[in-house]
Amino acid sequence: MAQASVLSERRTNVDDVFDHLHTQISSLELKPGDRISEAEIAAQFGISRQPVRDAFSRLANLDLLLIRPQRATEVQRFSMRRIEKSRFIRTAIEKEVLLRASTFCDRAGAAQLDEALKEQTAAVQTSDSESFGRLDYEFHEVLCTVARADYAYEAILEEKAKVDRLCKLGLEKEQRMPKLLEDHTAIANAVKAHDSATAIEVGMLHLSRLDDTIQRITETNANYFVSESA
């Protein structure tokens, strides 16, 4: 029982450290290339270094940390190759989700989409960027539910998380929200009308809005990107 208690506490510590660092990295409090110390984090939380090491490993698996033996751990810089790979995977998944959602959308599905847009509209009107960020994720989850492919949301979630930091480095959330809501509305209307071609067209436009952001960041913050010339 004592061993189980220790393991349970360790899992809790790992989760606490992971959530804390994930938030800091995702919100850009910790920027690409910033160094973080295993020992300092352990001291900050008043725990041993093993839970911190485990949390670092989880973050590294999400491409958020770069862990190198005998060298400082740092916040993962962006990689154009990883970005292209992530977007390739997400594009393929989103196309299939929108095709299926347009096929299977019924009254219940339409009501879910309408409710999602209603909540997003309220967030835009109050400039509640934090709520809108959460609702953005939920909208894609609703689309997967309508498509009868709820399992696809896990894959979308993973790929979306990989580029969210880029989005935050672009326009301020308050500036982006109206355009994102406009895209979501057009996607939902096409899905409800069983117009898969338009749903996919708008969905791909929605994903492509990151292109300008990437271009701006490579010009203004080239140090945020890993060198891939080799």
| pLDDT tens-place string over residues 112-160 | 999 999 999 999 999 888 899 889 999 999 999 999 999 999 999 888 8
Q: Exposed, middle or buried, 62 (CB in 10 Å: 0-12/13-18/19+)? A: middle
The architecture in CATH of the region 2-75 reads Orthogonal Bundle (1.10)
Where do you find CATH 1.10.10.10 in the chain? 2-75
- Beta carbons of 71 and 35 less than 8 angstroms apart: no
Strand segments (E) across 96-199:
none
Residue 33, helix vs strand vs coil: coil
Mean pLDDT value of segment 2-25: 73
Fold of domain 80-220? Four Helix Bundle (Hemerythrin (Met), subunit A) (1.20.120)
Where do you find CATH 1.20.120.530 in the chain? 80-220
pLDDT of 3 above 80: no
CA pair distance 41, 44, nearest whole angstrom:
5
Q: What is the pLDDT of residue 10?
A: 45
